[in-house]
A = this chain, B = another copy of it.
Amino acid sequence: MSAELRALISTAPLAHVTTLNVDGGPHVSVVWIGTDGDDIVSAHMMRNQKVRNLTRDPRAVLSMQAPPQPGVFLAEHAVVYAHARVTEGGAWDLLDALAKLYVAPDSTFPAPKRDGGYIIRYAIERVAGVGAWAAGGD
């Protein structure tokens, strides 16, 4: 992962995550993300549509914007193409860690603490978009 992409993710951007449904159609939802080594990670308490989709087909895209800057022609953004792997457990702890970044430094994740859930690890394959981390839009 480039230093620029890591810096972007550290600003706690909402990630628009695309996965593929059984019929081949696209599914998109908006999630919190973090990093673990060179991977991007997200956590989910329930076996929702994107968890089911990525268990079947690992192709994922995460698209995110940098914080807005007034007067900029097209805000910097990154489109990350990735191969996803779903693992079980540890979701609440990761969500609680992300709440410190996405909500406030003293926040606790506002759902009852419990074991289980799912963590998605996204191995980055290619980065597009507009900005220091990208090779240009398409």
Q: How far is the CA of A79 from the CA of B27 in the complex (A)?
A: 9
**Residues 56-108 (chain A) with a chain B CB within 8 angstroms:** 59-61, 63, 65, 68, 71, 73-75, 77, 79, 102-104
Q: Choose, from A2-10, A17-25, A34-42, A114-122, the stretch at the interface.
A: A17-25
Cross-chain contact B26 with A18 (CB below 8 angstroms): yes
Contacts of A132 in B (CB 8 A): none
Question: Distance in Å from the Cβ of A112 to the closest Cβ of chain B?
Answer: 15
Number of copies: 2
Question: Distance in Å from the Cβ of A110 to the closest Cβ of chain B?
Answer: 7
Cross-chain contact B61 with A128 (CB below 8 angstroms): no
Q: How far is the CA of A49 from the CA of B138 in the complex (A)?
A: 6
Taking the complex as formed, is A55 at the interface, i.e. its CB lies under 8 A from any CB of chain B?
no
Other A-B pairs, 17, CB within 8 Å; known A14-B77, A16-B28: A18-B18, A20-B24, A20-B25, A25-B59, A26-B59, A27-B138, A28-B79, A29-B79, A29-B137, A30-B65, A30-B129, A30-B130, A49-B138, A68-B68, A73-B103, A73-B110, A74-B102
